Each structure stands twice: as C-alpha cells, then as structure tokens.
Chains A and B, each alone.
Chain A
Amino acid sequence: MRNRLSGDVYGVMAEFQTPDALIAAAHKARLAGYSKMDAYSPFPIEEVIEEVAPGNTGVPILVLIMGLTGAATGFSLQFIGNILNWPMNIGGRPINISNWPAMVPITFEMGILFAAFTAAISMVILNGLPMPYHPVFNVPGFERASQDGFFLCIESTDPLFDRAQTSQFLRTLSPTQVSEVAH
C-alpha cells in the first residue's frame, strides 16, 4: 500500500488549538483536493465529519435492513408458533391474524434488537476494530486528542500526497505544529 513517491510515512499531521481552526483546516484541505484524511478531536464535531468523510458510512442502510428483518422474524415467530402450528386460546383472544395487536410488542422488540446489534457490530467491523496498533499514536502529544488537541492527518494513500508539499500545505493553515506520522 505504500506509495513510492510519498516516502515511508503514514501521513502528515497538523495540530490545532480550537475546533473552529480544525473545521476551517479540514474545509480547506478538502477544497485543495485531499480525500484520504482523518480528524481527531476530544468530542465529535459534525462539520469536521462532513469535511473528512463526506457521504454515508453504510451503517444506516445495514441497520434499516436488519431492523426490518428482526421485525419480520419476531412477527413470524409468534404467528407461526401461536396461530399456524399450535393455535392456543389465551384469555379468549382471537386465534387468527386479528390477534395482531398482541404481537406488536415482540415484533417491535425484535426489530430494535436486530437493529441495535447491527449498529454496534457493523460500527466495530467497519472501523477495522480491534486495532492494537495505529501509526497516529507515534505523533508526539497525540494523547491530547482526547483532552484539548484537535488534529488533522492527511494520509500517504491520498493521490495528491507528497511528503514535502503536503506538510507545507498544512503549515499554511496556521496549526500549532505539523509532524510526520511514522509507520
């Protein structure tokens, strides 16, 4: 995956002091044509997400499909069990499809169960977790990304990446520091 022209680094990273500076930097980087980049901040910043990862993550559609599957499963379980295969009179309620109000809670619960598990599991898988090693932690002071530091990293897999020029570009965005990220 390493680009010969880019040299042996994971990318270059700039640190900013405020969320506003990070938002502005990410915006400019995207306008400059960079697409393989990521931002690191102590709290989620919606505007930055839109700049560094425009488009959909795939999680919403997975959750919708699995939620509907779960609801269908829940309904079928009750319908097949209680009405088709083993009709049972419970408190005088109807033993046919008009008993549907009683089946809604389980249908709903199964839909939520499937959707929630899909959301959590697909988030973990699509994020590439578990990941015991990640190069960005080689940047000195990077632990502040979970305290008060706002980081933007342009990765060497970006078609426009050039070790010197990209570092120079990041310096024009008035960061507090720019460092190369070793592998």
Chain B
Amino acid sequence: MATTTIPQTRVPQLSRLQLLGIGAAVIGLALLALGFVMNPTQFAKSYIFGFYFSMAFPLGCLGWLMIQHLTGGAWGVTTRRMLEAGALSMPIFFILSLPIVLIAYNKALGLEHYVYEWSNPAIVTPGSPEFVPVIAHKVPWLSPAWFAGRMLIYFTIWSTLALLLRTWSLQQDRGGNAVAAATRMRMLSGVGIALFVISVTFFAFDVGMSLDARWYSSMYGAHYMENTGLSTLAFLVLAMTQIRRTPIFERYVPVKPIHDLGKLMLAFTILWTYLSYGQYVIIWAGDLAESVPWYVRRTSNGWVYIALTLMACSFFAPFLSLLGRKPKRNLNYLAGVATWILVMRFLDVSWIILPEFHLSPLEAYTTFTNYAAPLGLFGIFLAIWSFNMQRAALLPLNDANMEILRLHAGGHH
C-alpha cells in the first residue's frame, strides 16, 4: 500500500468543542474554588466524586485504544485518533490527582474530619479509643504515603502507554515502516492491557472503595473498568457526530463502525448490569454483617429510588433502545442514546460514591460542588481532547486496518 501524506484537516467543530471544554473547566473550577472557601471538607468529598467520574474518560480512551490495537477492525481504526487524543490527557490528570493525595494527607487542606477514614491516625493506632482493628489491619496498604506512591505508579504506567502509542502512531502517519509500527503498537498494547486491568482495579479500590475501608468487593474494580468503557463509548459516539461531516470521514468511514459502536454500547450496558447486579445479589444473598452496610447505606433514606432509577434507566432503557439493527446504523439516534447513557453514568457513579458522604440523595444532589467538580474536570478532559484532535490527521491512513474501511466504503456511497 502506498504511503499517504495526510494534510491537516481543520475541523471547525473541534475548535468550538475546545472552547466549550475550556468554558466548562473555568466555570466548574471557579465554583469548586468557591466551594473550597465555603466548606473545605465538602470540597474534598465532591472532588473525589468528580475525579472518580471524570477519570473514566482518559482511562476508557486508553483501554479502548489498546483493545483496538489488539483486535483490529473498522471501529478501531475509525476511533483510534479520538482514543489517542483522550488518553493523552493522562499527564494532566496526574496533576489533577494531587488534591486526592492531599485529601488523604488531610492536614494540608485543613479538613474538619478525615474523608478517608484509614488516614486517621486515631483509628489505626492500637490503644487509641477510636481504634478500629479491621482498618488497622489494612494499614500496610492504606497509608497516605503508599497511597501517594501508588498514584504515581498508576499515572506513570498510563501516561507512558498513552504517549508511546501516540508517538508511534504519528510515526506511522509520517511514512516509515507502517507494518513495523503496527506490530510495535500491538506488542505494547498486549503488555499494556494487562498492566491496565491490574492498575485500574487497584485505582478503583484506592480512590473509590477505600472510602469505606471496612467493606470490600472483588467486583468493584471490574465495575469501575466497565464504567470507564461505557462512558468512553458514549463519548466516542457523540464525538463522531461532531467530526462525521469532515471530508476525510465522509470519504472513508462507512456506516459499519457506527453500527459497531452501537453494538459495543449494548454489550457494555449488559455488562454493567451483570457486574452491578452480580455484586448486589451475592452480598444480598450472603447477608453477612461485614458486607451489607455498603448496600444498606445505598438503599436507605431515599437512595433506593436512585438504585431503582438506575435499573430502569441505565439498563432497561438503553438495552431496549439498542436492540434493533436499524437504529444502531443511525448516528443521530445513537447520539441520543449516548447522551442518555452519559447522564446515567453520572447517576451511577454518584450512587456508588456519594452515599458515603450524604445521608440522603436530596442532600447529595442539592450540593452544588457535586456538579462543579465533574463539570470542571470533564471540561478539562474535553479541552485537552479537542486540542489533541486538531494536532493529527483524523484517521491513521497508513495503517493496514484502513483496508477494511476501504472495502466497506467501496460497495456503498
């Protein structure tokens, strides 16, 4: 296959999205700053929620990027540049993880109580009146210093993977040996996906699950990984609506990759249900004193209505909307479903995190910082994503997988 030199394509929608991202980031962070001045402890709680929610996008982009290098396929080569652009936000999100580390250290922010219970010396020091043996037992893992060290390790792994995959992909664009570049990216993705699964699982344990250090579920990491995958799929579909009308996409991208993204959204909707329900039914059926409190908090004081809403709106609604073949081949319809799924991702992550901080959903959803943090952090992601999207060709035209697109684009117009 001849090497193609790809001219930079200016996509006006992308610069508009960048402005939108910057706007959301500025508004969100300004409100967060206000929240910090008003109530540092509430700021800390909302920041953990916002960070946990927004990290789904860089992580999902990195995960899907490696998966599509390993599986190939039309959907992969179509979305590769969007995934690279999202994964590249990892170094910035490393900086954004510093407040989480400061929250674990507590004193730096002057919080009124320890948000992470395990970081409270009184709880983990034997002989203290507040001593909790079950948490003290976990101190070798849950200590602020090792928590900070793990964040460094996670983000080093993720940033290295994202930067290497992007660099090699751009080298492939510029010519050179396209097959060697593809092999190199595939090899790295094979190792990377294993590191990814382990690191994301522990990241979810650290940032999310350890909010209740007495409770554990081995499904928690898989559930978070699933959340990153589904959030990113929905984001990809919406991103596709913005750049679909650019000449290069019109020329090369048939309806098939859109159909594929629809199928993946359906599969991940089902997987979300399986993991969420599987975790619930095992704990519910076991009915053990050490494992039920987590769910008791999430079904009392009105939180049960959020759980029921999730069942109806995060499983049944998208599941039924994505069943047919025709709807999945309609990008505007799919974008509607994707928007719905993103709203449900917000609701799901809030149901996972916020009952640790708020007794009732009314209290949780009327706290403005619980919106400011996700808005600001997602705004930062969106701005970085659209910035990076404008710095490379929209499709990796030298990749052998482009042949699949040509085959499919050949029969139709």
Give the B-binding residues of A (Cβ under 8 A): 19-20, 23-24, 27, 46-48, 60, 64, 91-93, 101-102, 104-105
Contact = CB atoms under 8 A, between A and B. Distances in A.
Contacts of A48: 411
Given A47-B412, A91-B287, A101 B407 contact: no
B402 to A, nearest CB: 15
B281 interface: yes
A48 B324 CA distance: 19
A27 B285 CA distance: 57
Contacts of A46: 256, 408
Contact of A20 (B256, B277, B324, B411): B411
B280 interface: yes
A104 B408 contact: no
A89 to B, nearest CB: 13
B285 A104 contact: no
Contacts of A20: 407, 410-411
B210 to A, nearest CB: 26
11 contacts: A20-B410, A20-B411, A46-B256, A47-B408, A48-B411, A64-B323, A91-B285, A91-B287, A101-B277, A101-B280, A101-B284
B281 A104 contact: yes
B410 A104 contact: no
A102 B411 contact: no
Given A20-B407, A47-B408, A47-B411, 6 more contacts: A23-B410, A46-B408, A47-B412, A60-B324, A91-B287, A92-B287
Contacts of B277: 101, 104
Given A91-B287, A92-B287, A101-B285, A27 B411 contact: yes
A93 B284 CA distance: 9
A47 B413 CA distance: 11
Nearest to A20: B410
Nearest to B285: A102
A20 B323 CA distance: 29
Interface string B390-413: 000000000000000001101110
Given A46-B256, A101-B280, A19 B407 contact: yes
Contact of B411 (A24, A64, A101, A105): A24
A149 to B, nearest CB: 17
B254 to A, nearest CB: 9
Nearest to A46: B256
Given A46-B256, A64-B323, A92-B287, A102 B281 contact: yes
A105 B282 CA distance: 11
Nearest to B277: A104
Closest 9 pairs (CB-CB, A-B)? A23-B411, A47-B411, A20-B410, A101-B281, A101-B284, A102-B285, A47-B412, A20-B411, A104-B277
Interface string B24-57: 0000000000000000000000000000000000
Contacts of B325: 60
Contacts of B281: 101-102, 104-105
A160 B26 CA distance: 66
A34 to B, nearest CB: 17
Interface in B305-327: 323-325
Contacts of B324: 60
Interface in B284-310: 284-285, 287
A90 B287 CA distance: 12
A64 B287 CA distance: 35
Nearest to A47: B411
A119 to B, nearest CB: 14
Contacts of A23: 410-411
Contacts of B412: 47
B300 to A, nearest CB: 15
A109 to B, nearest CB: 13
Nearest to B412: A47
- Chain A CB within 10 Å, residue with most, of B285, B287, B323: B285
Interface in B268-289: 277, 280-281, 284-285, 287
Contacts of B408: 46-47
A64 B325 CA distance: 13
A20 B403 CA distance: 12
Nearest to A90: B285
A96 to B, nearest CB: 15
A107 to B, nearest CB: 11
A143 B358 CA distance: 68
Interface string B316-355: 0000000111000000000000000000000000000000
Nearest to A19: B407
Contacts of A27: 411
A179 to B, nearest CB: 24
Residue of A23, A47, A104 with highest tally of chain B CB at under 10 A: A47
